[in-house]
Amino acid sequence: MPARIAPLAITACTATCAAGRGSQAIARALETRAGGLIANSFSTQPLDCRIGRVAGLEQLSLPDALASFDSRNHRLAWLGLTQDGFLERAHALRERHGAARVALVLGTSTSSIGETERAYRELDAQGRLSSAQSRPQVHQPHALGLFVAHALGLAGPNLTIATACSSSAKVFASAERLLRLGLADAAIVGGVDTLCDSVLFGFNSLELVSNEECRPFDANRRGLSLGEAAGFAILERMPQSGKVEKDTPLLIGYGESSDAHHMSAPHPQGLGAERALDDALARAGISAAQVDYINLHGTASRQNDEVEAALIARRFPASTRASSTKGWSGHTLGAAGILEAAITLIALERGFAPGTLNTRELDPACGPQIRIDNSEANLRIALSNSFGFGGNNCCLAFARADTA
């Protein structure tokens, strides 16, 4: 088992998705059970499904200094950076530590592939990219990291994590290691993914996309709804006094695994997911019985939900609350980890456990932990699960400062 880690303070956090722009808007959507899924209005060819689309990205313009990075993904990244005062907090962090001592660790599944799709639809008669699309800083997997580093004026370690749907959960783990090894004094973590044809038709080809709003853990679920999101957080070491503001949440543990069972299906007994869970608990120095809430991966796909439900049922007491919040946002792929981490922090801050939106009848594999309805609760310790294709699993452990 891994050794316990020193907690890290999460001194800023923000998220933007179909359910709302910024933490306050998302919190209101959760509390009022106002989901953001709508009929597909995005794909270039008809596809009957529901999506979690962030409105207004088509009309958004990047600042002139960032215009060469223009893409849907970077527009959403900029929109996310400007919520909850995060941009100002990031600039203050840079001034405090120096641009070279702030690490940037971001997760994305598809980067700016939507823009690359558009570039290839607009090839000239000789099959060449137009001059406007000859932008290597956009048409590459590390585009998001380059964009955010440029936007924030950062010059420290800059990593892109691309492990499918666990990408922006694993950023917390990589950032903790960079700080523990002294390679940075603070870290900005996050993730952004946007809708594009490759995502919509790719998942549809796997027969995973539902033609109705996704219903995680429902006995009659039909598949997932795809969405888009941006989220960011600042991680800093605890002060020598060990004391932080009482409303400052902490990262207390993480677990990662790669079971490589199948390209898209989870291990049938959830062994990789369970290994990630065990490592997160060990690094946090807690037992499963101490966990008050779990934000589940819960995509509403048949096999994934069944495996995760069985894992939660056998490892946690009935008093633990668990839910999937993808009914509000859709599955935001490489941004799911940071979005659901932000939602988990909202739950800790507000003493509020979200339920599972759109779900009407729980699958028999579910134990009493998985809840449909919202509930008020004194939440002290919470987990967030993110599981990706290829068996890339990550579990994050958070706590209120007064608990840790």
- Catalogue the active-site residues: 165, 297, 331
* C-beta of residue 333 within 8 angstroms of C-beta of residue 165: yes
Phi, psi (deg, nearest 5) at residue 152: -100, -5
Buried b (16+ CB within 10 A) or exposed e, 359-368: beebbebbbe
Q: Distance of CA 251 to CAs 10, 22, 181, 190, Å? A: 7, 20, 17, 14
Reduced to 3 DSSP states, what percent helix, strand and coil does the chain have, rounded to the nearest 5? 35, 20, 40
With CA atoms as reference, report the closest residue to 112 among 157, 151, 156, 162.
Answer: 162
Buried b (16+ CB within 10 A) or exposed e, 73-101: bbbbbbbbbbbbebbebbeebbeebeeeb
The amino acid at residue 373 is: D
The gap between the terminal CA atoms of the chain, to the nearest Å, is: 21
Beta-ladder partners of 20 = 17
Q: Distance of CA 67 to CAs 55, 74, 77, 107, 236, Å? A: 20, 10, 13, 22, 31
The amino acid at residue 130 is: S
- The two beta strands, 50-52 and 226-227, are parallel
Q: Which helix (H) or strand (E) holds 26?
A: helix 23-32
With CA atoms as reference, report the closest residue to 208 among 167, 259, 266.
Answer: 266
d(CA 347, CA 374): 11
d(CA 149, CA 252): 26
Assign 3-class secondary structure to 85-100. CHHHHHHHHHHHHCHH
